[in-house]
Amino acid sequence: MRFLPPTASTGAESVDSLYYFLVALTFLFTGGIFLSVTYFAIRYRRRDPRECPRPVHGSALLESAWIAIPFVIVMFIFGWGAKVYYDLSVPPTDALQLYVIGKQWMWKAQHPDGQREINELHVPLGRPVRIVMTSQDVIHSFYIPAFRVKRDVVPGSYTTMWFTPTKVGRFHLFCAEYCGTEHSGMIGWVTVMEPTDFERWLSGAGAEGSMAATGEKLFQRLGCAGCHRSDAPGRCPPMTGVFGSSVVLANGQTVIADEQYVRESILNPKAKIVAGYQPVMPSYQGQVSEDQLLSLIAYIRSLAAPGTTEAGTAVQPQAAPPAPQPRRSRVSEGPTTITQPERRQRK
């Protein structure tokens, strides 16, 4: 019988190490208590119905010992767990950017080049993958046991998760937050492929144009281009190079222009006014779907400042080492799980 799911990501190994340690600790303490109780219960069993043992006075020393030692142990576990969590939450800067929308009762995934998948996710081996996701209706949870990662998808905001697959194969994808009738049917497969196979899959997957291209068309059609002009900055902040940068607001605060910021700016523009501009942008609430929002985000993301590489497009397959050391991002790439206080209260 298997006790572990496949260990198929860099993160999975660190999670499993912590798990083994805790299993050992549990066996140790449980065994200790079990043996002590059994031994005392037998050794000191009642032999005469009238026997009356003398009281044993408490021992402050013993109490202190079994307060201090467990405390030290649990603090150690806390630290370890926190480190694992941090590593699982902060993606490297060169991650492949994917988008997922959960809805009752299916997962829709989108690749930056436009390939769409339902209940399936194809990813290349050895490359970090960062997923930005949201829900169209209720709270779901995107769970890949083989990678030991899970993140809730919440309607009205974005959550992110990342992983680097280390094994080729097909792995379960589950919805892990109860969401209604077909909750147990909201499952699928994550397929990890060799980079060359992945390239082949991408070109054959019938894309209708990259997400950025779709987003650009929307940008024109919805009238955004009329105001957010890159050539003649006027009434509206220009979009070139804004994604991922720091933005100073009219009220003096500084925020990072990440996915959540862009989404909010489209749906609720008066919430954060950029310093030096008037609050004239109309809201597009109800006029754009979650898919369209993600396309717009992909487009704005692609408008990087001149000189930087475009993140999110499928680049040449790298000869990635089996377990690459991901570069820690210096600038917060905006994983919305590390939210600054003003961003926590999202609609």
Partner 1 sequence: MSTRWRRRKLSESTNALAHQFDDLEQQARSNTLGMWAFLATEVLFFGGLFTAYVVYRHAFPEAFAVGSKHMDVVAGTVNTAVLIASSLMMALAVQSAQLGLRRPLIMFLLLTMTLGAVFLGIKAWEYHHKYVENLVPGVNFVWEGPLRNQVQMLFLLYFIMTGTHALHMVIGICLLTYLVLGARRGRFSREYFFPVEIIGLYWHFVDLVWIFLFPLLYLIGLHL
Partner 2 sequence: MSPIVTELPKIHYLNAAYGLKSWLLTTDHKRIAILYLITVTLYFFLGGFFALLVRLELMTPASDLLRPETYNRMFTMHGIVMIFFFLIPAIPAIIGNFVIPMMLGARDLAFPRLNLLSWYLFMAGGLFTLYVVVIGGVDTGWTFYVPYSSVYSNSYVVATGLGVFITGFSSILTGLNFVVTTHTMRAPGLTWGRLPLFMWSLYATSLVQILGTPVLAIAVALVGIERIWRVGIFDPSLGGDPILYQHLFWFYSHPAVYIMVLPAFGVVSELVQTFSRKRIFGYKFVAGASIGIAVYGFLVWGHHMFTTRQSVYAGLIFSFLSYFIAVPSGIKVFNWTATLYKGSVSYQTPMLYTFGFIGLFTIGGLTGLFLAAMGLDLHVHDTYFVVAHFHYIMVGGTVMAYLGAIHYYWPKMTGRLYPDAWGRFAALLVFVGFNLTFFPQFLAGYLGMPRRYAAYPEEFHLLNVMSTAGASVLAVGYLVPLIYLLWSLRHAPLAGPNPWGARGLEWQTPSPPPTFNFEKTPIVTDETYEYSLEEEEVV
Q: Contact residues for partner 1 (CB under 8 A)?
A: 269-271, 282-283, 345-347
Rounded to whole angstroms, the Cα distance separating 221 from 243 reads: 21
Selected from 44, 231, 306, 307, the binder of partner 2 by CB under 8 A is 44
Count of beta carbons in the 10 Å neighbourhood of residue 197? 16
| Sign of the four-CA dihedral 12, 13, 16, 21 | negative
Subset of 23-42 contacting partner 2 (CB under 8 A): 25-26, 29-30, 33-34, 36-37, 40-41
- Residue 181 interacts with partner 2 (CB under 8 A): yes or no: yes
Residue closest to 22 by CA, chosen among 68, 81, 71 = 81
287 binds, among partner 2, partner 1, none (CB under 5 to 8 A by kind): none
283 binds, among partner 2, partner 1, none (CB under 5 to 8 A by kind): partner 1
- Residue 178 interacts with partner 2 (CB under 8 A): yes or no: yes
Selected from 13, 75, 253, 327, the binder of partner 2 by CB under 8 A is 75
Strand pairing class (129-135; 96-103): parallel
Instruction: Give the nearest distance from C-beta 110 to partner 2 in angstroms.
Output: 21
Amino acid 319 reads: A
Contact status, residue 211 vs residue 294, Cβ threshold 8 Å: yes
The smaller minimum CB distance to partner 1, of residues 117 and 290, is found at 290
Q: Any idea which residue has 């083989």 for tokens?
A: 146
Cβ neighbours of residue 323 under 8 Å, at least 6 residues apart? 10, 164, 166
Stretch that binds partner 2, among 116-124, 176-184, 249-257, 298-306 (CB under 8 A): 176-184
Instruction: Give the nearest distance from C-beta 238 to partner 1 in angstroms.
Output: 23
270 binds, among partner 2, partner 1, none (CB under 5 to 8 A by kind): partner 1
- Residue 338 interacts with partner 2 (CB under 8 A): yes or no: yes
Contact status, residue 125 vs residue 193, Cβ threshold 8 Å: yes
Subset of 48-67 contacting partner 2 (CB under 8 A): 49-56, 58-59, 62-63, 66-67
Q: Any idea which residue has 């009752």 for tokens?
A: 104
- Residue 283 interacts with partner 2 (CB under 8 A): yes or no: no
Contact status, residue 126 vs residue 324, Cβ threshold 8 Å: yes
Subset of 101-130 contacting partner 2 (CB under 8 A): 104
